[in-house]
Structure 1
Amino acid sequence: MVWIYTFITFLPSYLLSWVSRSDGIFYGTEEERAKRAKARSVLGRPEGPYRAVSAIKRLATMLQPGVDTLDKMFEYAAMKFPHRDCLGTREVISEEDERQSNGKVFKKVVLGDYRWLSYEETYTAASQLGSGLASLGQRPKTNIAIFCETRAEWLIAAHACFMYNFPLVTLYSTLGGPAIAHGLNETQVTHIITSRELLETRLKAILIEVPRLQYIIVVDNTPTSWPGYPRGISVHNMAAVQKLGIRPENDYFLKKPLPLPSDIAVIMYTSGSTGVPKGVMISHSNILAGITGMAERIPNLCEEDIYIAYLPLAHVLELSAELVCISHGCSIGYSSPQTLADQSTKIKRGSKGDTSVLQPTLMAAVPEIMDRIYKNVMTKVEEMNSVQRTLFILAYNYKLEQLAKGYSTPLCDRFVFRKVRSLLGGQTRVLLSGGAPLSAATQRFMNVCFCCPVGQGYGLTETCGAGTISELWDYSTGRVGGPLVCCEIKLKDWMEGGYRSIDRPHPRGEILIGGPNVTMGYYKNDPKKQEDFFVDENNQRWFCTGDIGEFHEDGCLKIIDRKKDLVKLQAGEYVSLGKVEAVLKNCSLIDNICVYANSDEIYVIGFVVPNQKHLLALAERYGVRGSWEELCNSKTMEELVLKMLTEAALAAQLERFEIPRKIRLSPEPWTPETGLVTDAFKLKRKELKTHYQDDIERMYGGK
């Protein structure tokens, strides 16, 4: 069958490849792509600094000449694409409660089509909101907070703040009360923009702890009156504030001061994976440099593209991605993880999820979501009959082989992978992964089954999300690409961990990112204590990431470790917790895992969120009975899962001392709402350690 298929498709593929070559888009074989330089060391040293080949002479700082602030960028887009769709939101047709077989009740929704605001309408809405906020006493260079889910109103409010030079304090919608109060008090805000749900469920309870707060602007249109709030606090609907802004006596648009490139645009509070959230000060010029670097890695980005927005806008990846889209006239359709696909938790059975309706061409995702898609599809493959499963695996391996040669597989894409591709709407041409390392298995799966390249990126809030993104024609796994055109990267020796720039075959060390995208530091943090930031002799700002990387011959970066994730066991061996977790998460039994090691002990332990379907199948195979909670608390099931984990670890060539000797199965998944992971699904190790303290003592023999 493979021979016949290859014979039939050879001539069309061969001719198409030559057409592609003449258009300059043939990317060559995997071997040819690996030899092509993505970045070079500017000074020729193994530690760098490394720059993208196209930015050897000069780092990029902005998309268009003269467009040096975010208000100018949006004005440019509104003038160039006035009637194009800008922001879209699905209409809610109905809501109902659906009782599950286990007795739990979930709220399900039926959603209609997307309703769109044009670029011109969005620009007008933002300018009116900014004028209305000014009429309520908000002043330039005075902080204003936004505490809201990802939705169109979030971005409208952000652009209003950029226009009127109100530094925007962003807070995750899943932060706990103390963290919210900390951010609001530290930035001394008097105005906050939020949603009705978050106001009533989260914000209202801590208002007494935020004495400076005076105005709450609710993005929902209902209700119109807000009784029962503490004295001195007034609550307004966003629409009412916009109406206030268009009154002739309150028209602040003509007399508003223009922001400077060096002015603070955003104070972005981190998700707090290592303690109290810190506010990162990001200037207009920082953001513009960052999105310039990102845009250069997305080929043919234009107004025909549609982006689906569902990640937290308080995260630098999502905010940067949406601003990249705005700068190029793309359409942004809003979604949420609960309504993303037809099978999502809030979508009523039989109705369509957001990807099916929107059919996006661009999408950003964190590895946690991609891993989930990969495991769900592979579970369905395992359930196929032997003929279907064999054909799928055959097509999968055949396409992998063809991708390595630089060829496409149109018939495989059409007849085998079309159904998988339709999970994301069927039109996706670029997937951008960021926030954490993406496993090789998941990356290969997305490239093959979704028939589009996956650009794996690396960046931090402190670098405006910009650092590296792999070239979309580079299908190699485990690497994050070369530096973006807005920054450069060098390696710093870390002797304690044994990483040096003179290591062979690849130079290794702590990753330092420098360039115009490196932010201004932490808000109200003593500059002397901000040792992770420094300025070099050329007046360029640098950030020490704490991540360990190595540069390959073609200038691509690979993340191999993290200083904070490295634990030294009692016998002297170093264990990289993140590395072990990345390997073990590929096991089908595992939905999530946190590896823990105490320096006073000789072995590693782990906390595991098991995959429900696979754990139940394992229990049935070995005759273990009980409820879900009873199975997770079963000593027998712990031993069975640990045995399979050990086999997976040995197959992946982990060292014996890296493999957990004892585990604890968790019946509850880790979500941002539980406080055990961040909004980007990064592990909160401190909170996990506290949560499982009794189990840690048990697994370490009562110590």
Structure 2
Amino acid sequence: MDYFTPNFKSYVVPNSEKSGRTPVLRNKKFIEDSLITEFSQVKTIYDIFWRGKPYNPETSSFLSYKFYTYKESAEIVTNFASGLIHLTLKLSKTEAEKNSVLQRQWPVALYSINRPEWNLTDRACSTQSLISVALYDTLGHDSMTYILNHCKAPVIVCTVDKISRILLNIQKLPNVKIIISIDSLSEPSGPRSGPPNLNIRAIDILKQWAEHYNVTLVDFDQVKEYGKQHKIDHHPPKPSDIYTMLYTSGTTGNPKGVMSTHENYAHAARYSSLGKLDKNNTPVILSYLPLAHCYGRNVENYNTLLFGSIGYYSGDISRILEDSRDLQPTSFPGIPRLLNRFYDVLRAQTIDAPGLTGVLYRAAIKEKLEILEKTGNPRHEFWDATLFERTRGFISKRLTVAGSGSASIEPQVLNFLRVVFCIDLVEGFGMTETSAIGSKQEPGDGTSGNIGVPLAGVEICLRDIPEMSYFTSDLPCPRGELLIRSKSVFSGYYNEPEKTAEAFLEDRWFASGDVARINLDGTISIIDRKKSIFKLAQGEYVAPERLENTLQKFPLVSQSFIYGKNTMSYPVGIIVPDEAVFMPWAAKLVKQNKSFKDMTKDPIIVAAFLEEIAKYCKESKMNGFEIIKKLYLEYIPFDATTNKLLTPTMKLKRFDASKYYSNTLDNLYS
């Protein structure tokens, strides 16, 4: 492959190619990290927040039903941080415990939906060099207990509805000494996130319950008041201090605690913000991406770096459009699951609309898509001012840019939304281990099916994966495992030195486990996943995630779990059909009215479904040994709360799924 063509979008570091690896790629606009001076004074998350106070003291920084300026936010952060240290010192029983508190770098767990208090607590932790440990709001009892014990957090800051869940497991949580309720424990009813049946009697029982187990239960305002009365000087962190621990999804076992330093996330925020600072136009974002996920965390950090405002959603993802239209954000960090929903709604209102409306939209979108492909421009002077005036404001009338991250998005969805929103909608890639950054499409890039080029401050290359037949010498495009090097890359997995050693190669290259391709134009595409492969009896390797991603595009399939044994020559599958498509199809086969459950158990339907799958897999150019030979149709969807087969970020927990369906899988192979 020729890396030095004029239209190659990445910068290729000269003489960086090694045996079994591609050359190193960087961002073409920002070749040398040392030459980038914008935000160079920002070394920590503490710097990000506190530089905003003197510059824009009256700018609204956090929005929900109440507005906080940077000045007001700074006062809350200082008082809460002081109160946190004061309360923990007060409860320390020995000099050794007091010294441990004063040495800082101990964990504070956050267990809540996105709210201003979540962010304020995170800033307070930075103000005193404490480590924030984020727990997904949707975590079940087992995962919550595992993480709290693994990180040994003595303090939990949570919404009032989480208190009973913690106290139910408190005998399994020997490190927990303090629970701080974000919601008031003095009022008869809490703020919007509190359960509707919250009352004084229920609060009294919670307090007695906590006291019974020698746990101190206070609320956010009480801790602020302690701090106001017992001010403690700021204890700013060093760049090398741990800023946060985020726990990976744990798709193959217990989640790993990713330790990220202040330098890691400050670097990510800096390089996500380059060229975007405009003090005359305050950026506004809607915070709905879970703050226990790196994507949501980095979005808030770099928005704060740009002196922006943050509005918090209502807590109900089904109301996300109402929340967004109320706030009118200037940018929108999207995820494919949500963007697919927007696509379905807008498609029905435009190109699938009946009559003249549909005719006009089909003509306009066809023309705009042709222009997008040729020029990368999603805008059109005539159509945007007339036909697309309404769709432009679907999310927000002030929207100028949007992104898609956390998973791949279908090209037709991405391009459709670009032209109906009339904005740059860019796809990007990042990981928990890289503080959410890695690569991103540049504004004005109208291509799809790729994750763009390396972000400024990031280096990327590929290495051979012989066991999967991916080689950097492949033609026309090199393929291999994606390696990333950057100051944003984490310091290690907490208390897991062996897994940390496995993740890093020489010179601090992080092995992502993702299989990528460097395209002819210098962009990068994720094409597979390395870590979940299994070997069949004949010695062939199978990557189940790639097969599942292929099946996801088949209309009859909603969810799938592909499984294989090294003693068998073929894979099998557990498949959840898409009920809306499956039921009419199945009814034609059996000519009977049956329930969804009964249809999935009918042997005629199962056999026909398997034939359809095999046909589709062949059309999708799958190898013969990759095609499932037997399947089980499941009528109960995989989820994160009931059968717990999905992580909070909707990834399949492969290890748990194999245990859950153990008997079924054995039967399929019998």
TM-score in same-fold range (> 0.5): yes
Report the Cα offset of residue 215 of structure 1: 0.6
Instruction: Report whether the alignment pairs 1:507 with 2:475.
Output: no
Instruction: Report whether the alignment pairs 1:577 with 2:544.
Output: yes
State the AA in 2 paired with 1:158.
D
Give the one of 428, 438, 449 matched to 2:399: 428
Q: Do the aligned partners of residues 298 and 257 (structure 1) sit closer, same or farther apart at CA in structure 2, a change above 3 Å counting?
A: closer
Report the Cα offset of residue 380 of structure 1: 6.5
State the AA in 1 paired with 2:111.
F
Q: Do the aligned partners of residues 662 and 368 (structure 1) sit closer, same or farther apart at CA in structure 2, a change above 3 Å counting?
A: farther
Report the Cα offset of residue 318 of structure 1: 0.7
Q: Do the aligned partners of residues 295 and 571 (structure 1) sit closer, same or farther apart at CA in structure 2, a change above 3 Å counting?
A: same
Q: Do the aligned partners of residues 434 and 338 (structure 1) sit closer, same or farther apart at CA in structure 2, a change above 3 Å counting?
A: same
Q: Secondary structure of the equivalent of 1:488?
A: strand
Aligned pairs (5 A) from 1:309-320: 309-320=287-298
State the AA in 2 paired with 1:165.
S
Report the Cα offset of residue 232 of structure 1: 1.3
Instruction: Report whether the alignment pairs 1:699 with 2:668.
Output: yes
Does the CA contact (< 8 Å) of 2:414 and 2:448 recur in 1?
Answer: yes
Instruction: Report whether the alignment pairs 1:245 with 2:213.
Output: no
Q: Secondary structure of the equivalent of 1:496?
A: helix
Q: Do the aligned partners of residues 302 and 583 (structure 1) sit closer, same or farther apart at CA in structure 2, a change above 3 Å counting?
A: farther
1:689 equivalent in structure 2: 658
Once residues 521 and 266 of structure 2 are traced to their aligned partners in structure 1, the CA distance between those partners, rounded to angstroms, is 27
Aligned pairs (5 A) from 1:272-671: 272-296=250-274, 303-335=281-313, 338-341=316-319, 353-378=322-347, 384-385=353-354, 388-406=357-375, 407=377, 408-526=379-497, 530-534=501-505, 536=507, 541-622=508-589, 623-639=591-607, 641-646=609-614, 648-671=616-639
Report the Cα offset of residue 386 of structure 1: 6.2
Q: Secondary structure of the equivalent of 2:454?
A: coil
Instruction: Report whether the alignment pairs 1:123 with 2:74.
Output: yes
Does the CA contact (< 8 Å) of 1:222 and 1:237 recur in 2?
Answer: yes
Report the Cα offset of residue 531 of structure 1: 2.3
Once residues 240 and 269 of structure 2 are traced to their aligned partners in structure 1, the CA distance between those partners, rounded to angstroms, is 16
Once residues 109 and 372 of structure 2 are traced to their aligned partners in structure 1, the CA distance between those partners, rounded to angstroms, is 47
Report the Cα offset of residue 410 of structure 1: 4.1
Instruction: Report whether the alignment pairs 1:79 with 2:54.
Output: yes
Report the Cα offset of residue 315 of structure 1: 0.7
Deviation per CA, 1:190-216, whole angstroms, max 9, x where unpaired? Answer: 11111111222x322211111121110
Q: Do the aligned partners of residues 496 and 371 (structure 1) sit closer, same or farther apart at CA in structure 2, a change above 3 Å counting?
A: same
1:43 equivalent in structure 2: 15
Deviation per CA, 1:612-656, whole angstroms, max 9, x where unpaired? Answer: 333344345554422333334344444455455455444444444
Report the Cα offset of residue 517 of structure 1: 0.9
Report the Cα offset of residue 251 of structure 1: 0.5
* The 10-residue stretch of structure 1 (560-569 or 151-160) with the greater mean CA deviation from structure 2: 560-569
CA RMSD of aligned residues (A): 2.9
Instruction: Report whether the alignment pairs 1:228 with 2:209.
Output: yes
Once residues 604 and 352 of structure 2 are traced to their aligned partners in structure 1, the CA distance between those partners, rounded to angstroms, is 26
Count of matched residue pairs:
627
Does the CA contact (< 8 Å) of 1:294 and 1:469 recur in 2?
Answer: no
Q: Secondary structure of the equivalent of 2:316?
A: coil
Deviation per CA, 1:518-567, whole angstroms, max 9, x where unpaired? Answer: 1110112236862212452xxxx321111122223443222122212333
Q: Do the aligned partners of residues 339 and 522 (structure 1) sit closer, same or farther apart at CA in structure 2, a change above 3 Å counting?
A: closer
Instruction: Report whether the alignment pairs 1:179 with 2:143.
Output: yes
Once residues 166 and 529 of structure 1 are traced to their aligned partners in structure 2, the CA distance between those partners, rounded to angstroms, is 22
Once residues 34 and 209 of structure 1 are traced to their aligned partners in structure 2, the CA distance between those partners, rounded to angstroms, is 61
Q: Secondary structure of the equivalent of 1:609?
A: strand
Once residues 618 and 417 of structure 1 are traced to their aligned partners in structure 2, the CA distance between those partners, rounded to angstroms, is 36
How high is the TM-score relative to the length of structure 2? 0.86
> Which ranges of structure 2 fall in alignment gaps of 5 or more residues?
90-100, 188-203
Once residues 328 and 156 of structure 1 are traced to their aligned partners in structure 2, the CA distance between those partners, rounded to angstroms, is 17
State the AA in 1 paired with 2:290.
P
Once residues 228 and 526 of structure 2 are traced to their aligned partners in structure 1, the CA distance between those partners, rounded to angstroms, is 51
* The 10-residue stretch of structure 1 (69-78 or 401-410) with the greater mean CA deviation from structure 2: 401-410
Q: Do the aligned partners of residues 664 and 388 (structure 1) sit closer, same or farther apart at CA in structure 2, a change above 3 Å counting?
A: farther
Q: Secondary structure of the equivalent of 1:530?
A: helix
Once residues 277 and 561 of structure 2 are traced to their aligned partners in structure 1, the CA distance between those partners, rounded to angstroms, is 37
Does the CA contact (< 8 Å) of 1:463 and 1:519 recur in 2?
Answer: yes
Deviation per CA, 1:393-415, whole angstroms, max 9, x where unpaired? Answer: 43332221011222532443455
Deviation per CA, 1:282-339, whole angstroms, max 9, x where unpaired? Answer: 1111111112222238697985322111121011111011111111122211126734
Once residues 240 and 121 of structure 1 are traced to their aligned partners in structure 2, the CA distance between those partners, rounded to angstroms, is 17
Q: Secondary structure of the equivalent of 2:453?
A: coil
Does the CA contact (< 8 Å) of 2:277 and 2:306 recur in 1?
Answer: no
Does the CA contact (< 8 Å) of 1:47 and 1:507 recur in 2?
Answer: yes
Quote the sequence identity (%). Answer: 27
Once residues 85 and 354 of structure 1 are traced to their aligned partners in structure 2, the CA distance between those partners, rounded to angstroms, is 17
Q: Do the aligned partners of residues 370 and 663 (structure 1) sit closer, same or farther apart at CA in structure 2, a change above 3 Å counting?
A: farther
Report the Cα offset of residue 84 of structure 1: 1.9
Q: Do the aligned partners of residues 482 and 580 (structure 1) sit closer, same or farther apart at CA in structure 2, a change above 3 Å counting?
A: same
Once residues 606 and 299 of structure 1 are traced to their aligned partners in structure 2, the CA distance between those partners, rounded to angstroms, is 50
Give the one of 206, 224, 229 matched to 2:169: 206
Once residues 339 and 658 of structure 2 are traced to their aligned partners in structure 1, the CA distance between those partners, rounded to angstroms, is 26
Q: Do the aligned partners of residues 451 and 648 (structure 1) sit closer, same or farther apart at CA in structure 2, a change above 3 Å counting?
A: farther
Does the CA contact (< 8 Å) of 1:282 and 1:464 recur in 2?
Answer: yes
Does the CA contact (< 8 Å) of 2:286 and 2:311 recur in 1?
Answer: yes
Once residues 379 and 601 of structure 1 are traced to their aligned partners in structure 2, the CA distance between those partners, rounded to angstroms, is 45
* The 10-residue stretch of structure 1 (374-383 or 142-151) with the greater mean CA deviation from structure 2: 374-383
Report the Cα offset of residue 448 of structure 1: 2.8
Once residues 302 and 443 of structure 1 are traced to their aligned partners in structure 2, the CA distance between those partners, rounded to angstroms, is 30
Q: Do the aligned partners of residues 448 and 687 (structure 1) sit closer, same or farther apart at CA in structure 2, a change above 3 Å counting?
A: farther
Q: Do the aligned partners of residues 383 and 396 (structure 1) sit closer, same or farther apart at CA in structure 2, a change above 3 Å counting?
A: closer
Q: Secondary structure of the equivalent of 2:467?
A: coil
Once residues 440 and 220 of structure 2 are traced to their aligned partners in structure 1, the CA distance between those partners, rounded to angstroms, is 37
Q: Secondary structure of the equivalent of 2:136?
A: coil
Q: Secondary structure of the equivalent of 1:504?
A: coil
Q: Secondary structure of the equivalent of 1:694?
A: helix
Deviation per CA, 1:465-511, whole angstroms, max 9, x where unpaired? Answer: 11111112222222111111122112222222222222222222221
